[in-house]
Amino acid sequence: MSVSVEKIEKNVVALEVTVASGEFVLAVNQAAKTLAKKVNVPGFRKGKAPRKMVELHVGKEALYDEALDHLIGPAYAEAVIESGIKPVDRPSVDLVQIEEGKDLIFKAKVSVKPEVELGEYTGLHIEQDAISVTDEQVIAELKNQQEQHARLATLTEGKVENEDTVTIDFEGFTGDVPFVGGKAESYELVIGSGTFIPGFEEGLIGTEIGQHVDVNVTFPAEYHSEELAGKEAVFKTDVKKIQRKELSALDDEFAKDVSEFATLDELKADLRNKLLKQGEMQAKGNHMKAVISKVVDNASIEIPEVMFTERIKVMVDDLNRNLAQQGMTMEQYYQYTNSTEKVMLETLRPQAVESVKTDLVLEAIAKVEGITVTEDEVDEGIQKLAERHKQDAKLLKQSLITRGEIEFYKESLISEKTVSFLIEQNA
C-alpha cells in the first residue's frame, strides 16, 4: 500500500491511497465467500457456490461493495498512521480506480487537527489578586448561618410575604380548560424562590390563610411545552398554610448551637479563616484562568467547525449521564430550567469553542517545551484518582487501558503540567 497527501484547503487534506491489485483480488474473493453464505444460488448449497456463480447471481457491483466494506477501513487507518495526519472527523471517500487486475485507488478527504501559531506565552507578568476578608463579609456569612438554622413557624393569621413558605392547592387553566401537569395539592412553595413561572409567586403575596385566589400569568415564549408557550393562563389557588422563618439571636448560645465553639467571637474567627482560605483558592483559580486566557488569546488558530460540534456532543453526553445518575431525563431538565434543546446547544457553544482552542494551545506548548509524563507520574495520578473515588488503583488503571482511555488520561496529566508551567512562567 502507498499513500500521498494533498492539502486541499486549510485544515483539510486528501489522502490518495493505493492498494496493491493482489490485495484487492483477495478481498473480492473473500467477499464472494461471504456473500455465498448469505444468498441462495440455484444449484448450490449455501456457502458452496463458486465465485463466478455468486458474481452472476448478485452482480459485480455488490461483490465489489462487500470487498470495499472490509478493505477501505483498514487501508484508511493504515494511511492515517503512515501519513502522520490527525483527523478530527470521518473521511469522505471517493473511488478513483476499481478494477480487478489493477491497483485499487481511493481518495479520502478529511478535516485534520489545525496547526497552532503560538504567541507570547511566558513573561506575561499576570499577578494574582491579594486576598483580604472584611468584617462585613464575616457578618454576611454569620447571617447565612443564621438563615440556615432558622426555624419555620406556622402562622395562625397574617398575609403571605416574600420568603414565606406556603402550602397551596392549585390547578392551571388556559381559558376554561385545565392543562396537563398544572395541578397539585398540598404543594410547598418558597415565595421568591423563582420555582414557578414569572408572576405566580408574586401573585400570592398579600393573600391570607384559607383564601382562594386566581393568579393570572403568561407562559414564556420559550417554554418547554409548545402547547403552553406564550399563552395566558390562570392558576386557581387555595392558600392552606403560611410558614415564616424565625431567626435566633446572634450570641454565644447561637455559636454553641451551630458549631463546636463556645463563643460568638470564636465562631467569627473561624468563619474569617474559612473565608480567607476560600478567597485564596478562588484567587488562585482566577489567576490560572487569566494566564490561560491570555496565552490562548495570543495564539492564532483556525479551527474546523466539526471540532466544536463534537465537543458539544461530548458535553451533552456528560450532562445526560449526570442527569441519569440523579434519575432525571433531558426533557425534565428542559422543564425545570425552562429551556429547550436549541437554547441549550446555543448556550454550550461558546464554552465548547473556548475549550477546544485552549486544548489545542496547551497541546502545542507542551510539544514545544517538551512537557511529558513518566509512567511513575501516571501511576501516581491514578492512585490519587482511585483514592478520591474509593477504588483500587491497579483495577482502575487496567480499566483505563481496557477501555482505550489511558492515552486520554496521560494527555490530561500533560495538560495539567503545562498549566503549572505557564503559571510559573507568568507570575
One-character DSSP codes across 214-245: EEEEE--TT-S-TTTTT-EEEEEEEEEEEEEE
CATH assignment of the domain containing 39: 3.30.70.1050
Q: What is the pLDDT of residue 195?
A: 86
pLDDT tens track for 163-175: 999 999 999 999 8
3-state DSSP of 137-202: HHHHHHHHHHHHCCEEEECCCCECCCCCEEEEEEEEEECCEEEEEEEEEEEEEECCCCCCCCCHHH
Angle at 133 between CA 132 and CA 134, to 5 degrees: 120
Closest CA to 179 of 168, 170, 190: 170
Asked if 311 and 228 sit in the same domain, the reply is no
Taking only Cα atoms into account, the Rg of the chain, rounded to an integer number of angstroms, comes to 33
Asked if 303 and 212 sit in the same domain, the reply is no
Q: What order of strands is seen across the sheet that includes strand 104-111?
A: 2-9, 12-19, 104-111, 92-97
Residues across the chain: 427
Domain count across the chain: 3
Domain assignment present for 264: no
Q: Within the chain, how many helices (H) and strands (E) appear? A: 13, 9
CATH assignment of the domain containing 185: 3.10.50.40
Domain end marker among 225, 246, 267:
246
pLDDT tens track for 269-295: 999 999 999 999 999 999 999 999 999
d(CA 245, CA 253): 19
What the block records as the C-alpha cell of 222 is: 420559550
Q: What is the pLDDT of residue 304?
A: 92
pLDDT tens track for 394-422: 999 999 999 989 999 999 999 999 999 99
- For residue 35, CA distances in Å to 25, 55, 95, 183 come to 15, 9, 22, 60
Residue 295's domain spans which residues?
A: 275-425
Asked if 161 and 214 sit in the same domain, the reply is yes
pTM to 2 decimal places: 0.71
- Cβ atoms of 69 and 75 within 8 Å: the answer is no
Asked if 97 and 158 sit in the same domain, the reply is no
CATH assignment of the domain containing 414: 1.10.3120.10
Q: What is the pLDDT of residue 181?
A: 86
d(CA 18, CA 47): 31
Domain assignment present for 261: no
Q: What is the pLDDT of residue 168?
A: 96
Q: What is the pLDDT of residue 145?
A: 94
Domain end marker among 95, 111, 127:
111
Q: What is the pLDDT of residue 64?
A: 87
* Strand, coil or helix: 272: helix
* Strand, coil or helix: 103: coil
Output DSSP code: residue 5.
E
